[in-house]
Amino acid sequence: MEEKEKIIYELGMIDSKARELEQQVALIDRQLQELRLVQEDIEKLSKEGKREVLMPLSSDILVRGNIADSENVLVNVGAGVILKKNIKEAKEVIEKHEKKLSGIKEKLLDEINKIVDYMLKLESEIREKK
């Protein structure tokens, strides 16, 4: 394989990596949006108190239910462990998770920028080899 072909092959591999990282960023964006919605729902829960709600059994099936305790929520802290947290503690857990995800997103975006810079360098090398 001549030098130009090697560079073109490397560009393809790097482009695939960049696309994979972009997909990861999109997933994190969706998770961050979901956390913001949960934050809003917890705020409503603390203000509205006990009330009737619709609870999903699946994406298409709901049941009516009553919120028995509007002061506390159950939080999955990982490995199947669920802990009772008051509203303030739950908000802190969400904020901590948001910060962690935002940090990961920043690292991914930095990596994408480095890849793009390297791709531009390789493209410049290809033009020089014409």
Q: What is the mean pLDDT of residues 97-117?
A: 97
When pLDDT is cut at 50, 70 and 90, the band that residue 102 belongs to is very high
Rg (CA), the chain: 23
Domain-wise residue ranges, the chain: 3-128
| Residue 85 contacts residue 72 (beta carbons within 8 Å) | yes
What would the pLDDT profile of 44-96 be if each residue is shown by its tens digit? Answer: 888 887 788 888 899 899 999 988 888 899 999 889 899 999 999 999 999 99
CATH assignment, 3-128:
1.10.287.370
